[in-house]
Structure 1
Amino acid sequence: MRLKNSVTIVLSCATILMSGCKTTESMYYYGNYSEAVYSYFKADETPVSQQITILEEVIAQARGKGKPVAPGVHAHLGMLYFESGNNDQGTNHFEQEKALFPESAAYIDFLINQSSGANI
Structure 2
Amino acid sequence: MKLLSIALFSLAVTGCAHQPSIYQWGGYDAMLYRSYKNPEKAVELRDGLELHVSKMEQTKQKVAPGLYAELGTMYLQGGDSVKAVSMYTKERDAWPESKGLMDALIANVGNRTAAKPEAKT
TM-score range for the pair, normalised by the shorter chain length: 0.7 to 0.9
Bigger relative contact order, structure 1 or 2, given CA contacts below 8 A and separation 6+? 1
Counterpart Cα distance in 1 of 2:51 and 2:34: 16
- Sort the Cα spacing of 1:93 and 1:14 in 2 relative to 1 into closer, same or farther, 3 A: same
Structure 1 spans left out of the alignment, 5+ residues: none
Residue 23 of structure 2 is aligned with which of 25, 28, 36?
Answer: 28
The count of aligned residue pairs is 112
**2:107 partner amino acid:** N
- TM, length-normalised to structure 2: 0.73
- TM, length-normalised to structure 1: 0.73
Report the aligned-residue RMSD. Answer: 2.6
Residue 82 of structure 2 is aligned with which of 75, 85, 88?
Answer: 88
Structure 2 spans left out of the alignment, 5+ residues: 114-121
- Greater radius of gyration (CA): 1
Q: Is the counterpart of residue 53 in structure 1 residue 47 in structure 2?
A: yes
Task: Give identity over the alignment, percent.
Answer: 24
- Aligned 1:1-120 pairs, distance under 5 A: 9-19=4-14, 22-42=17-37, 44-47=39-42, 49-63=43-57, 66-116=60-110, 117=112
Deviation of the 1:19 alpha carbon: 4.2
